[in-house]
Structure 1
Amino acid sequence: MNLQEIGKRIYHFRTQILNLPQHDFAQRIGMGQSNVSSVEKEQTLPGCFFIWCLHTTYQIDLHWLFTGEGEPLYQQPVSAGIHLDQT
């Protein structure tokens, strides 16, 4: 897992996939622009709440976010429910 590149991936996601200015992106996930800026510049790692907001707001693929592997967006809708194996 390459945590040092999370900021670069978030920047790529915001600018290349969503095409949003930093202020709008931050507002939609309920974060301050300075927080998003700090993460994108890799000055700080995003916290759990930041990541959860990205995931629930934009359906960002967490595997891609943490590793850079795969696609930035889930190919199937994300379910908020917990599924237990009944076997």
Structure 2
Amino acid sequence: MNLKDIGERIRLFRMEVLNLSQREFAQRMGVAQGNLSSLEKGHQLPSCFFLWCLHATYQANVHWLFTGDGEPVVKANK
């Protein structure tokens, strides 16, 4: 597990999937912008709560977040 890769995928999800600024995303996720910046730079591992909120709110694929495999967003089964 590479923290820099995870951080980069968080940043890509925020920018390319959600089209949100770091400030907007941090506010919506209930984290300080400084903490989000630290996550995106790969300085810390995201908490379980952060990952749960990311998935519950935006249907983020946590497997993709950690591995880069699959799609960034979980598709609903029909």
Return the TM-score normalized by structure 1: 0.81
Residue identity in the other structure for 2:65: L
Superposition map of 1:8-87 within 5 A: 8-76=8-76
The percentage of counterpart residues that share the same residue type is: 55
Question: In 2, are the aligned partners of 1:30 and 1:53 still within 8 Å (CA)?
Answer: no
Count of residues in correspondence between the two structures: 76
Structure 2 unmatched runs, 5+: none
User: How far apart are the structure 2 equivalents of 1:46 and 1:63?
Assistant: 13
Report deviation, 1:17: 1.3
- Give the structure with the higher percent helix: 2
Other structure's SS at 1:70 match: coil
**Larger CA Rg, structure 1 vs 2:** 1
User: How far apart are the structure 2 equivalents of 1:3 and 1:56?
Assistant: 24
- Structure 1 residue runs of 4+, over 4 Å off? none
Question: In 2, are the aligned partners of 1:55 and 1:62 still within 8 Å (CA)?
Answer: yes
Question: In 2, are the aligned partners of 1:61 and 1:74 still within 8 Å (CA)?
Answer: yes
Report deviation, 1:3: 3.7
Give the RMSD, CA atoms, in angstroms: 1.2
Other structure's SS at 2:65 match: helix
Deviations 1:27-61 (A, max 9, x none): 11111111110000111111111111111111101
